[in-house]
Amino acid sequence: MASFHKPLVQAIRERRSTPSFDAEPIPPRDLWQIIDAGLQAPSGYNLQPWRFIVVQNAEQRKRLRAASYNQAKVEEASAVIVCCGDRDGWRRDLEEMIRMGCAAGMPETYAAQAAANVPEYLSSFSPEGLAGWLNKHVSIAATTMMWMAEVLGYDTAMMEGFEQQRVCETLRLPMSYWVVSLLAIGHLKGADKFNGGRFDPARTVFSEEYGRPFR
């Protein structure tokens, strides 16, 4: 089924965190396009520490809702992509990253440097530091999926309202997984959410150094 395409500038202007979805399934081709967009995201050393669990089954959505403070949209959405990071992913993936890179022209010096530096860098993190590192990468990939879904004409809602342990149990996630966010995708049902607006950039954007207005 051909999807409707919306220009990204329009999607950025119009997107709202969808309050309620109809549960119409998403064609697999669209879902793959959305997922693939996330997988194209950049990551430090190209380590791609993200992992995604795509939940579409109605019973599983209901169980996930129970682990997400009973947020109705978790059950109503056509698909919920549970965006996770794998704390130990790099231990298995570093070699593959280097192999793929070398096949595509990665300089040998860079490969040797990555092989030496990555284990040192990532094993130096505290548990909180590693969660921060994962949050950063997984959020970039999840946001890329969100925009692809919006451009394809879907409505989305990013969520942090869930219980980490309960989501891990519900989805039978490995111990090394850390759940970062849920991305609900589908079509808006009923009225959209109000637009709460954004702060004046004078509060959030500076030029050259802190405190200097960017004009």
Ligand X SMILES: Cc1cc2nc3c(=O)[nH]c(=O)nc-3n(C[C@H](O)[C@H](O)[C@H](O)COP(=O)(O)O)c2cc1C
What does the binding site for ligand X look like in residue numbers (CB under 6 A)?
A: 16-17, 71, 158-161, 181, 193, 196
Nearest Cα neighbor of 62 from 84, 77, 82 is 77
* Residue 202 Cβ vs ligand X, minimum distance, rounded to whole Å: 20
74 vs 114 by CB, closer to ligand X = 74
Q: What is the signed CA dihedral for 70, 194, 190, 61, rounded to 10 degrees?
A: -30
Toward ligand X, which CB reaches closer, 93 or 155? 155
Q: How far is the CB of 158 from ligand X (least distance, A)?
A: 4
Shorter beta-carbon distance to ligand X: residue 196 or 211: 196
Residue facing ligand X at closest CB distance: 161
Q: Which is nearer to ligand X, 73 or 97 (CB)?
A: 73
Query: What is the distance between the alpha carbons of residues 213 and 132, in angstroms, rounded to a whole number?
Result: 29
HSE of 46 in the Cβ direction (CA atoms, 13 Å)? Answer: 15
Q: How far is the CB of 172 from ligand X (least distance, A)?
A: 22
DSSP H/E element including 103: helix 89-103
CB of 107 to ligand X, least distance (A): 37
Element housing 115 (H / E): helix 108-123
Nearest approach in angstroms of CB 129 to ligand X is 20
10 Å CB burial of residue 124 (0-12, 13-18, 19+) is exposed
- Closer to ligand X by CB, 158 or 179: give it: 158
